[in-house]
């Protein structure tokens, strides 16, 4: 982001928790950037980092093909924090000894401090996940804490701090305080990553990226992210230069096309609404693979934008509401790891579109987007709508797309969301939705045998969508919801609830 902001670089060695480190630092007011462990040294230096964090990872430093890089050259740039694998790499390279553990340490553990890092704390509950351990620490290092198994848990040296546990997870007591010690005491970072600072940064970037007179087409989905982008661009460039396009792809929720247009009027955006239902559903006909669905939807969106440009006149930029989690899931920062899922708005634009891409929110998480939306004056009822995926109901209808099943899914979702609102549960949940399964089961409806589809409902709590836990509904609510859906929605005779956290699952099913 801005060169005027203190920044911490996080090098990702493959841990599922690396993104949590970034989130924790940003919550503390320190901007963090996530880079692959193999990032070029000049790239790391370009951020002028106040500190560098080496993340955990699934590998062992004892393996010949484990991910590695020169710790000393990193130390020449800024103070280092090693977490789990990062600790082992630092100790291994600086003269310590790493060995395979006979007793692995996974889950909750208690460490005992030899020398207090946190005032008044002698014992601390932490969360561990490692099979190797530090047998001997490097010369000039200080041993600060051991685990229940007497394994070395915390060490330090000049400008180096290492944890054999994960301070970034909620299961570690006072983990945030440990991260604050590194950021503020060791790195001397200033907590200047605030909503007003973020907005000022974004507006400045927009002015630098979009030259005077350039026209922008802003793709609106009806969701929080694209809405904030449209409002932000309009506040900087004006309505005449920011022409928003809201597309009905036939995969929206019940009445959403009309309702969202009313909301955009409240925000005074320059919006052209396009109903492209036939085009999308025609291209998706007979397609069941989720990755293929996403790619088709991305392609048709581009086709619709091409046609819109013909009506709008000359356009130079396409604006999208891409977020950091979209980028992380689509293009892994580690390079060698697998893509979790592609996102139709990640990966650049076709050359024949002849537009440049502007994505102001590309380095932000969802909660940060909501904060800047509040700062911009966007109504809360819009900002706190549950996230809705760009591919819409296409990835909530498992299997082939057809209008009858889409209608079934819409009606079920409409009942579900209304029940959440009627019971004052909507704001307690990060995201709630229905998934229609390509599975039929036998039921009894109206004293007759039925053979209809199964509907899964999902509700999760989260801060940023990177991790999530399922919402623990009251049984009375679940009973009423199931009865309403099976009684009122034709085509559904069974309702099930998804109790999978993220990880191991993702929030959406596809």
Q: Please list the active-site residues.
A: 84, 166, 168
429 burial via Cβ count (<10 Å: 0-12, 13-18, 19+): middle
Q: Please tell me whether residue 177 adopts helix, strand or coil conformation.
A: helix
Q: Is 371 helix (H, G, I), strand (E, B) or coil?
A: helix
97: left (phi over 0), alpha (psi -120 to 50) or beta: beta
Task: Please enumerate in sequence order all residues whose Cβ is within 8 A of that of 383, keeping only pairs 6 or more positions apart, or say none.
Answer: 224, 228, 370, 373, 374
73 half-sphere exposure, CB direction, 13 A CA radius:
10
Cα separation, 271 vs 264, in Å, equals 7
* Chain centroid to CA 321: 13
**Sign of the dihedral defined by the CA atoms of residues 168, 51, 36, 27, in that order:** positive
152 burial via Cβ count (<10 Å: 0-12, 13-18, 19+): buried
Q: Which residues pair with 163 in a beta bridge?
A: 83, 154
Phi first, then psi, for residue 111 (nearest 5°) are -105, 150
Answer whether 86's CB lies under 8 Å from 98's CB: no
DSSP element (H, E) containing 31: strand 31-36
Coil, strand or helix at 216: strand
DSSP bridge pairs for 99: 133
CA atoms within 13 A on the CB side of 48: 7
Q: Which residue has the tokens 């899922």?
A: 341
Residues 6 or more apart whose Cβ sits within 8 Å of residue 391: 251, 293, 294, 297, 344
At residue 406, the 3 state secondary structure works out as helix
Q: How far is CA 217 from CA 93, 214, 250, 307, 346, in A?
A: 51, 10, 21, 12, 17
Q: Quick one: tokens of 294?
A: 């996403």
Residue 76: what are its φ and ψ, rounded to 5°? -70, -15
């Amino acid at each position: 982001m801005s060169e005027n902001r203190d920044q911490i670089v996080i090098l990702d060695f493959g841990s599922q928790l690396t993104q949590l480190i970034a989130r924790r630092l940003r919550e503390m007011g320190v901007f963090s950037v996530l880079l692959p462990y193999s990032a070029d040294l000049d790239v790391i230096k370009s951020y002028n980092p106040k500190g560098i964090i080496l993340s955990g990872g699934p590998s062992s430093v004892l393996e010949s093909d484990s991910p590695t890089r020169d710790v000393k050259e990193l130390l020449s740039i800024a103070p280092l924090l090693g977490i789990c694998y990062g600790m082992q790499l630092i100790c291994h390279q600086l003269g310590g000894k790493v060995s395979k553990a006979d007793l692995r340490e996974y889950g909750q553990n208690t460490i005992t401090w030899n020398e207090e890092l946190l005032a008044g704390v002698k014992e601390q509950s932490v969360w561990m996940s490692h099979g190797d351990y530090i047998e001997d620490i490097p010369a000039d290092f200080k041993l600060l804490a051991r685990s229940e198994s007497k394994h070395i848990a915390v060490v330090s040296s000049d400008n180096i701090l290492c944890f054999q546990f994960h301070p970034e997870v909620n299961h570690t007591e006072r983990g945030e305080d440990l991260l604050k010690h590194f950021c503020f005491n060791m790195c001397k970072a200033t907590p200047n990553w605030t909503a007003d600072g973020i907005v000022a940064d974004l507006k400045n970037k927009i002015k630098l990226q979009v030259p005077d007179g350039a026209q922008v087409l802003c793709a609106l989905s009806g969701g929080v992210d694209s809405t904030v982008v449209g409002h932000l661009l309009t506040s900087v460039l004006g309505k005449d230069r920011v022409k928003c396009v809201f597309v009905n792809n036939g995969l929206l929720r019940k009445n959403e096309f009309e309702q969202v247009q009313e909301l955009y009027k409240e925000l005074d955006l320059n919006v052209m609404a396009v109903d492209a239902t036939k085009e999308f559903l025609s291209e998706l006909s007979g397609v069941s693979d989720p990755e293929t669905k996403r790619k088709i939807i991305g392609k048709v969106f581009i086709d619709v934008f091409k046609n819109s440009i013909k009506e709008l006149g000359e356009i130079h930029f396409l604006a999208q509401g891409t977020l950091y989690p979209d980028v992380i899931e689509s293009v892994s920062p580690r390079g060698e790891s697998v893509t979790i899922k592609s996102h139709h708005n990640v990966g650049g634009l076709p050359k024949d579109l002849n537009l440049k891409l502007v994505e102001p929110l590309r380095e932000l998480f969802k909660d940060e987007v909501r904060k800047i939306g509040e700062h911009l004056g966007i109504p809360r009822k819009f900002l706190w709508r549950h996230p809705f995926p760009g591919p819409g109901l296409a990835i909530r209808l498992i299997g082939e797309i057809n209008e009858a099943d889409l209608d079934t899914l819409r009606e079920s979702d409409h009942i579900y969301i209304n029940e959440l609102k009627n019971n004052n549960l909507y704001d307690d949940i990060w995201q709630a939705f229905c998934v229609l399964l390509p599975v039929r089961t036998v039921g009894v409806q109206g004293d007759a045998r039925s053979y209809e589809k199964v509907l899964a409902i999902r509700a999760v709590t989260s801060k940023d969508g990177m991790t999530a836990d399922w919402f623990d509904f009251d049984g009375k609510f679940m009973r009423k919801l199931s009865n309403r859906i099976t009684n009122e929605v034709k085509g559904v005779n069974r309702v099930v609830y998804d109790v999978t956290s993220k990880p191991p699952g993702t929030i959406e099913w596809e």
